[in-house]
Amino acid sequence: MTGFAAVSRPTEMGTLLIEIRSVNSRFLDLGLRIPDELRSLEAVVRETIAARVARGKVDCRVALQRQGDVQQVAIDTEALAALARLASEVQRATGAAPLSTGEILAWEGVLSSPGVDPEHLRHETALALDEALAALQASRGREGAALAAGLLQRCQAVDAIVAEVRARAPELLAALERKLAERLEKALAPALGSGGTLTREEVTDRIRQEVTLYGLRADVEEELNRLTAHVSEVRRILQMGGTIGRRLDFLMQELNREANTLGSKATAIEMTQAAVELKLLIEQMREQIQNLE
C-alpha cells in the first residue's frame, strides 16, 4: 500500500528528520538513505521498519540538521599547536614560506565539530521512527480500508453470479439431459428394428445410464459451494484485519480454480458467460490484493 510520513524531532545536536514513503510491492523492498555520521543507526532503523511493515517498496531518509542549518565547528588548539611546531621546523630547515590561514584551517584535525552522543541519538531516533511509522501505518490503513470496501463489493458480485447459476443449473441440466436422451434414442433406434439385438428395456436402461453419467459430470453444485465458502473466507479475513495479503492471495488461486472448473463443465452459453465474469472479478480482486499487507 502507498503511504507517506515525515517527522522532525529537536535534539541537543540539531533537528532529527525522518521521512518514510511506501508504494505497492508484493514483498518488502527497503531502501535507506542515511548520512555517514548516523551510519551506526542503520541496522536499528532497518530492523524497526521490517518489524512494522511486511510488504511494500519503502524508502526511508534519515538526516540530522544542525542548528542554524550550519554545522558548528571549533579550532582544536592541540592540533593547531602541533601544526605550528611542525611548520616552524620546516621553515628553519628549508626557508619555506609560512602557512596561510586557509592552509592551516584545511589541515586535517585543526577544525572539529561537536560530537554525536550515540546513546542519546539512538534514543531520539527510536522515538522519531516510532512516530513516523505510526503515521505511515495510519496512511496505509486508510488506503487499506478503501481497498477492503472494493473487495467486499466484488465478493457481493461473485455471490450474485453463483446464486444465478445455482438457480438456473437444474433447468439447464434437465434440458441437456432431454436433448441427450433424444440423441441416444435416435442413435440406438436401428438396434430395435428388424434383426436388432437389443430390447426396448435394454435400450432404455442404456440411455438412462448414459444420461445419469453425463449429468454427474456436468453437475456444478460442488464448485458453487466451494465458491461460496471461499468468498465467505475472504470476508472473514478482511474483517479480521492484520497481515492478510498472502492469505487472500491463496484464496484468489482457489477461487480461480473453481471458476475454471465451472467453465470446463459449462453445458450452456449462460454458464460459460458466468464463468468468464467470475474470472474477471477474481482477477480484479487479485490485482487489488497485491496492494494489501
Q: Is residue 165 pLDDT above 60, yes or no?
A: yes
pLDDT in tens, 18-72: 999 988 777 788 999 988 878 888 888 999 998 888 778 899 999 888 765 445 5
Residue 239 CB burial class (10 angstroms; 0-12, 13-18, ≥19) = exposed
pLDDT score, position 173: 67
Q: If you average pLDDT over residues 267-272, what whole number do you get?
A: 78
Write down the residue that cell numbers 531516533 correspond to.
125
- Of 49 and 176, the structure prediction assigns the larger pLDDT to 49
pLDDT score, position 131: 92
Residue 178: which pLDDT band, with cuts at 50, 70 and 90? low
Q: If you average pLDDT over residues 233-243, what whole number do you get?
A: 87
Q: Is residue 12 pLDDT above 60, yes or no?
A: yes
Distance CA 281, CA 154 (A): 6
Q: If you average pLDDT over residues 135-162, what whole number do you get?
A: 89
Radius of gyration of the chain (CA): 37
pLDDT in tens, 61-99: 998 887 654 455 677 788 888 888 888 888 888 878 888
Q: Is residue 113 pLDDT above 70, yes or no?
A: no
- Of 290 and 58, the structure prediction assigns the larger pLDDT to 58
- Of 239 and 108, the structure prediction assigns the larger pLDDT to 239
Q: If you average pLDDT over residues 146-155, what whole number do you get?
A: 91
E strands in the chain: 3-11, 14-23, 28-33, 56-65, 74-75, 111-112
Q: If you average pLDDT over residues 207-227, what whole number do you get?
A: 69
In the chain, what percentage of residues exceed pLDDT 70?
A: 77
Q: Is residue 5 pLDDT above 70, yes or no?
A: yes
Residue 160: which pLDDT band, with cuts at 50, 70 and 90? very high
pLDDT score, position 181: 61
Residue 244: which pLDDT band, with cuts at 50, 70 and 90? confident
Q: What are the cell numbers at 73? A: 565547528
Distance CA 147, CA 288 (A): 7
Residue 283 CB burial class (10 angstroms; 0-12, 13-18, ≥19) = middle
pLDDT score, position 70: 43
Q: If you average pLDDT over residues 268-284, what whole number do you get?
A: 88
SS3 content of the chain, % helix, strand, coil (to 5): 70, 15, 20
- Of 246 and 206, the structure prediction assigns the larger pLDDT to 246
pLDDT score, position 282: 94
Winning range, highest mean pLDDT, from 85-99, 169-183, 184-198, 230-244: 230-244
Distance CA 64, CA 36 (A): 11
176, 219 Cβ separation under 8 angstroms: no
pLDDT score, position 208: 64
